[in-house]
Structure 1
């Protein structure tokens, strides 16, 4: 009987290891992240919503199509058990840096509210305002500034 119990325990652990990856996410979770274009970084799996140009200059209002994209991502996350994440808000480098920190936090909170209304628990969302400290494009061009006005979703390893 002990041998059978030991064998069942070993098989269960082996099965868990097959579905668990080295970074703590299972293959189904990684597939969802990759579906949306998340990329592995030092902080975890990151996705910048810049491609959708979420925010106009000096605004924290999210366009309706971007709200739907965020809702879809949230629903897919919940479907595969991804429930904890960090939202980093960003701005371009124009204007007062202290104001940009506040604006970037408001942007991250706006995305958080869409995720919460889509079923994500408020307690599982960490929000950070980064201001213009982490640009992904050249702030000297109109297009570059537009790309820098974004929120990055980070799913920890």
Structure 2
């Protein structure tokens, strides 16, 4: 009889210990609906969060800081779709090519980020939930030695890091 009780107790303890060893699956901070919208709107998951770019980037002409009419329409649509699924925070990063001085490029990249952030707020985002940063020429994604490379570096990235 005593052996039966010890066996039951040991079995119960083993079950508790093994149950505690199971690795819990990480829970996504994103709902299925949020993930669907992010993917449908061409956001790409990176190590930093979900990055949006039009044709891989929101590109700008040399010395320009205002999005084109087409970009304005796309950003407006995306803002509304994100808000419709509860995504209310965004980071906007402006970038430049290496043309011009570092100081000027920092200012230009900030103007680009501010312009895209303003479009998000015009389309429903609360201004306090949108952070705009000018990163100048510090993070090129292509070489600045060619016109094509410089064009790719004149961009703005919208980053979503939390729902």
TM-score interval, normalised by the smaller of the two chains: 0.7 to 0.9
TM-superposed CA distance for 1:126, in Å, is 0.7
Structure 1 residue ranges, 4+ long, deviating more than 3 angstroms after superposition:
49-54
TM-score between the two structures when normalised by the length of structure 1: 0.81
Task: Report deviation, 1:54.
Answer: 3.4
**Ranges in structure 1 where 5+ consecutive residues have no aligned partner:** 1-20
**1:38 corresponds to 2:49:** no
After superposition, residues 15-26 of structure 1 pair within 5 angstroms as 22-26=27-31
Which residue of 1 is the match for residue 15 of structure 2? none
Q: CA deviation at 1:53?
A: 5.2
More divergent stretch after superposition (38-47 vs 87-96) = 38-47
Counterpart of 1:57 in structure 2 is: 62
Match of 2:141 in 1: 136
Q: Please state whether the residue corresponding to 1:94 is helix, strand or coil.
A: coil
| Number of aligned residue pairs | 137
Pick closer, same or farther for the CA change 1:103–1:73 going to 2, 3 Å.
same
Pairwise CA RMSD of aligned residues? 1.6
Matched, 1:72 2:71: no
| Structure 2: gaps spanning 5 or more residues | 1-25
Deviation string, structure 1 residues 91-124 (Cα, Å, up to 9, x no partner): 0111111111111010000001111111111010
Aligned equivalents of 1:145, 1:50: Cα separation in 2: 16
* Pairs within 5 Å for 1:1-157: 22-49=27-54, 51=56, 54-157=59-162
Report how far residue 64 of structure 1 moved.
0.5
Scaled by the length of structure 2, what TM-score is found? Answer: 0.78
Q: 1:76 to 1:52 in 2, by over 3 A?
A: same
Structure 1 pair 24–58 and aligned structure 2 pair: CA distance change class (3 A): same
Task: Find the aligned partners of 2:52 and 2:76 in 1 and give their Cα distance.
Answer: 14
For residues 27 and 147 of structure 2, what CA distance do their matches in structure 1 show? 40
User: How far apart in 1 are the matches of 2:58 and 2:83?
Assistant: 24
